[in-house]
Amino acid sequence: MDFRSLKAYEIAFELAMKIFEISKKFPKEETYSLTDQIRRSSRSVCSNIAEAYRKRSNPNHFKSKLSDSDAENAETQSWLQFARACKYIEELEFEKLVKQSEEVGKLLNYMINNPGKYGVVEK
């Protein structure tokens, strides 16, 4: 198994790609603020999961990177809320994206609380 086959990674990657497609429609004046930030945070969720998986030989590093991933996931939700408030995305689309993000958060929490299931040996 590698990090790409982790359910949290798969769902987070799918979410980041949806956000990328949706954010293409954001106004040009948002390029260096909302558009850039929401793309960065959503992608960072994935990259932190990948790093955590590679660092699973150290339980503290594993949990720390997953915690970073969870924080980026929360940031993504915040940017989604701004996008909705600015009327760049519809309510239904917003709800679907947030629900998917919440699912990622639950999976990350499970991984943090059950590191042994991911090859982490607690000392």
Cα gap 38→56, rounded to integer Å: 27
Task: Report pLDDT digits (tens) over 74-119.
Answer: 999 999 999 999 999 999 999 999 999 999 999 999 999 999 999 9
pLDDT, one tens digit per residue, over 65-78 is 999 999 999 999 99
Q: pLDDT tier at 14 (50, 70, 90 boundaries)? A: very high
Q: Looking at the whole model, is its pTM more than 0.85?
A: yes
What is the reported pLDDT for 121?
A: 85
pLDDT for 28: 95
Q: What is the largest CA-CA distance in the chain?
A: 51
Class of domain 3-114: mainly alpha
CB 18, CB 67: distance < 8 Å = no
> Which residue from 43, 68, 38 is spatially nearest to 53, judged by alpha carbons?
68
Domain boundaries along the sequence of the chain: 3-114
